[in-house]
Amino acid sequence: MAMNWRQTVVPDMFDNDIVPFWNGLKQHKFMLSRCRHCGAHYWPMALCPKHEDNTFDDMEWTPTSGRGKIFAWEVVHKVKTPAIEHELPYALVLVELDEGPIFATRLAGRSPPGLTIGLPVEIAYEDVPETGLTLPLFKLST
Ligand SMILES: [Zn+2]
């Protein structure tokens, strides 16, 4: 039996500094790293370049809107993995989050028609009981 791709995303894959992001998802919160000084958000976690001598102590994980717009997209029509053929076509997207960072993800379900740059999207939490994780897919905003 082929494994569902969702079960291939496991906690062992994450660096320690990204664990708060995944813990937030479990609570259906979309967390980004934010600078305590100027409020700028970053993904993935990074030091804010606007201040000299910044350290990771100057950054904090904080819940955000989980909203943004399509920055770029691609619809996948063909795969070499039989286990996910039934999900075709699906859309891979770069989301420009309202807070600024670009987030790479996939739209939940089959790709809707009419995707365009600038279309508003929002987080679509997908719980995966087998791994205990929640995946940060996105969907078109209604
Ligand atoms: Zn800053």
pLDDT band at 131 (very low <50, low <70, confident <90, very high): very high
pLDDT value at residue 13: 86
Strand order in the sheet with 120-128: 102-106, 90-97, 67-76, 120-128, 133-140
Q: How far is the CA of 60 from the centre of ligand 1 (A)?
A: 11
Helix or strand run (H / E) with residue 24: helix 19-26
Question: What sign results for the dihedral spanned by CA atoms 99, 102, 105, 111?
Answer: positive
Q: In whole angstroms, give the CA distance from residue 113 to residue 110.
A: 9
Q: Is 116 in a helix, a strand, or coil?
A: coil
Higher per-residue confidence, 80 vs 119: 119
Q: How far is the CA of 65 from the centre of ligand 1 (A)?
A: 19
pLDDT value at residue 45: 85
pTM for the whole thing? 0.91
Q: How far is the CA of 130 from the centre of ligand 1 (A)?
A: 38
pLDDT value at residue 3: 63
Higher per-residue confidence, 97 vs 7: 97
Q: How far is the CA of 39 from the centre of ligand 1 (A)?
A: 6
pLDDT value at residue 142: 85
Pick from 142, 94, 99, 138: nearest CA to 117: 94
Q: Please provide the size of the chain in residues.
A: 142
pLDDT value at residue 1: 46
Q: How far is the CA of 68 from the centre of ligand 1 (A)?
A: 21
pLDDT value at residue 12: 85
Pick from 139, 137, 135, 124: nearest CA to 26: 135
Q: Decide: 90 and 115 in contact? Cβ < 8 Å.
A: no
Q: How far is the CA of 48 from the centre of ligand 1 (A)?
A: 5
